Amino acid sequence: MNIEFITNKDIYEKVIQERIPLAQKFVWIGTSDIKDLYVKKKAKMVPFLEVLSDLIKKGVEIRLIHAKEPGEIFREEFDKYPALIKGMERLLCPRVHFKIVIIDGTFAYTGSANLTGAGMGSKSENTRNFENGFITDNESLVGQILNQFDSVWMGKHCKKCGRKEFCTEHL
């Protein structure tokens, strides 16, 4: 594959549906906005959180960086999956605006789509956002995307951030 430009529903199909469920080691997700997101699992629609919960039960590490607290429906769904409470690492960073998905250090998506139904979800063509981005398995590009995520995760920018009053993680 190397690099492939994708838009709209392709983001949902190629990242959320095809790649994330096959993760073996880790899934790192960075998003500015996070809302309830439903995906097709076998013959029914389920919260994306169920997919993440299934991965945690298989020993896959899940990390999520987001810029603001998720909506009420997301929080209610989150509480239905006990594996997420103990097994998903979360970081709230109000400066995050990137949209990143990294899977096992060998595949990455980066683009405009937030982790929302209208961004990466299965919504119809008439109700989804106009999104774009690219997916890649290029080792160098995946490494650069991974490094950006990791630098935020590790708090590299916290001392000079200027928004510590909104962040409870790296004080």
Query: pLDDT tens digits for 140-166?
Result: 999 999 999 999 999 887 777 766 666
Structural domain includes residue 170: no
> What is the band of 170 on the pLDDT scale with cuts at 50, 70, 90?
very low
Residue 171 lies in a domain: no
Contact between residue 149 and residue 89 where contact means Cβ atoms under 8 Å apart? no
**pLDDT band at residue 77, thresholds of 50, 70 and 90?**
very high
In a domain, 143, yes or no: yes
**Whole-structure pTM value:** 0.92
Tell me the longest C-alpha to C-alpha distance in the chain: 48
Residue range(s) defining the domain that contains residue 151: 3-157
Q: Is the pLDDT higher at 41 or at 170?
A: 41
Beta strands in the chain (DSSP E): 3-7, 26-31, 38-41, 44-47, 61-66, 88-92, 100-103, 107-111, 132-136
Residue 105 exposed, middle or buried by CB count within 10 Å (0-12, 13-18, 19+): middle
Q: What is the CATH number of the domain that holds 141?
A: 3.30.870.10
Structure-token match 């945690």, residue found: 56
Predicted confidence (pLDDT) per residue in 88-140, tens digit? 999 999 889 999 999 999 999 999 999 998 999 888 888 889 999 999 999 99
pLDDT at residue 164 in the model: 63
- 117 belongs to a structural domain: yes
Domain count, the chain: 1
Q: Is 168 within a domain?
A: no
Domain assignment present for residue 125? The answer is: yes
Question: Sorting pLDDT into bands at 50, 70 and 90, what band is 67?
Answer: very high
Asked if the structure places residue 115 within a domain, the reply is yes
What pLDDT sits at residue 171? 36
Q: What is the pLDDT of residues 17-34, one digit of tens each?
A: 999 999 999 999 999 999
Is residue 166 domain-resident?
no
Instruction: In whole angstroms, give the CA distance from residue 47 to residue 40.
Output: 9
